[in-house]
Amino acid sequence: MSIEQRIVKVVEKNIESNFTKYNVTLESMLIDDLNVDSFSKMMIIAGLEDEFNIEINIDEFSDISTVHDIVNKLSKIVGEGSNE
């Protein structure tokens, strides 16, 4: 599974709602499209830490606005060698 697919999976898992099913893509805007609030953002970061077995400095993720932004930031942290 590619890093992009793994990130989309983590985002989907952490924004699940009993009432709304989101179609998460790399272009999805976290706030506008997925209704991600600060709690959801923290849950996504925790999910990414678990998925990739890393620690994330929350400040590094303060300026993300799309799922693709997460991919870019995380790719720098884990490197291309982490794709499974």
Which pTM was predicted?
0.85
Q: Residue 82: which pLDDT band, with cuts at 50, 70 and 90?
A: very low
Distance CA 23, CA 17 (A): 12
Distance CA 66, CA 50 (A): 20
Domain ranges, ordered by start, for the chain: 3-82
| Rg of the chain over all Cα atoms, to the nearest angstrom | 12
| pLDDT tens digit sequence for 32-81 | 999 999 999 999 999 999 999 999 999 989 999 999 999 999 999 887 44
Q: Is the pLDDT of residue 30 over 90?
A: yes
Distance CA 6, CA 37 (A): 21
CATH class (in words) of the domain with range 3-82: mainly alpha
Q: Residue 18: which pLDDT band, with cuts at 50, 70 and 90?
A: low
